[in-house]
Structure 1
């Protein structure tokens, strides 16, 4: 058993099945116990136990005969995420934009903080942005003159991200200067973690062709739950966060060789 699955594995889910069930539900929105049992070749009793484990961690919502994504996990939820800790996210995005040099190619994931970073790049037409986010791609297409590449694949309703088929485009683009990723959660021991297996895979593909990875993380993400490894700490060049980030935790990251920028927050009127 891999350590990245520790939380689920400790509760007895078999192999990567817990992660794969979560990914399937996020892709389809809702699935029945019968459909999941058929998909994974196990009994309905086993699937019910797996779903109960996921529900206890608030990763899914149990419904009669199956499970669905957490209530409000679509477009409304993204708008809510944009509004949550918005002052910190704007400040983090502004600082992150200073890390991007003229004419660079950068990658942005589907996180709300990366969306704020995209807003900071609207007046930089020399840049090229590769993104897995429908919302970010639409924003840049409508309001900027920079070059945009949208990764293909299946669309996840919960995040507006495309997943599953990034390799050909990424290989054709060559080396990306920096991949900017939001965080579900992270730790110096386990690196950057994601809840979604599919989104983690897309981020890994972007990281593989990027010279460096920068994590955009407001201080509310110091603790959280993520099952799937995106990149280990050694692949993270820098964390851009806010002044609420725990100094001792920042020191632990720095001891692991990761630079930590703690941005002071100034509220706009």
Structure 2
């Protein structure tokens, strides 16, 4: 028996078996890395197909543009609220309307917000009073018309680019989903040439495709939040402008009857 064991010759494994074993080991290592959460996002993006990369590029540009608009719009709305507070404090401090109007027009700067509404209404009111044969009702209607035009112009400036945030928030998830579907489709098409398909062979392609959905959500969530917040602020500012126009109209009506 011992002589028989010594006489046995150990033959080396075939090269095909060695290659298969090494490939299985590498796939297992890749799967273990994915399960461990040590995904390299940059490598997944680089190895994605061209259509998926194009989708990711579109979503990246949309996200960057959204953040630029978010920061600019925050600065603009905060300034509008601050200027409204300052002008209301000055308006209700008891200053004469003529002096307040003169101070508004003499300063060499672009007036905006509530101050612009006051300037437009008082200017039109003074223009109507200089005309002969114009009754007080017509004078008041002219002032109200001027204030409405000025308020509409100010609100258009505040609402500018809000529709872009709404568009990014609504369509970005669908663009990302399109990239995901396309990437998964390509991954399953590649499996047609394989005899055996395992999770380790399918997982990389699906991971690359799912990055597009993640980027779509990354672009959409801040845009939706900012749109809802800023639209509410614009609506609040619009209410303040309307209230001021009504109160100023009452003051002008009392003056026209004196």
Greater percentage in strand:
1
Greater percentage in helix:
2
Larger Rg: 2
Bigger relative contact order (CA 8 A; separation at least 6): 2
TM-score, normalised by the number of residues in structure 1 = 0.22
TM-score, normalised by the number of residues in structure 2 = 0.23
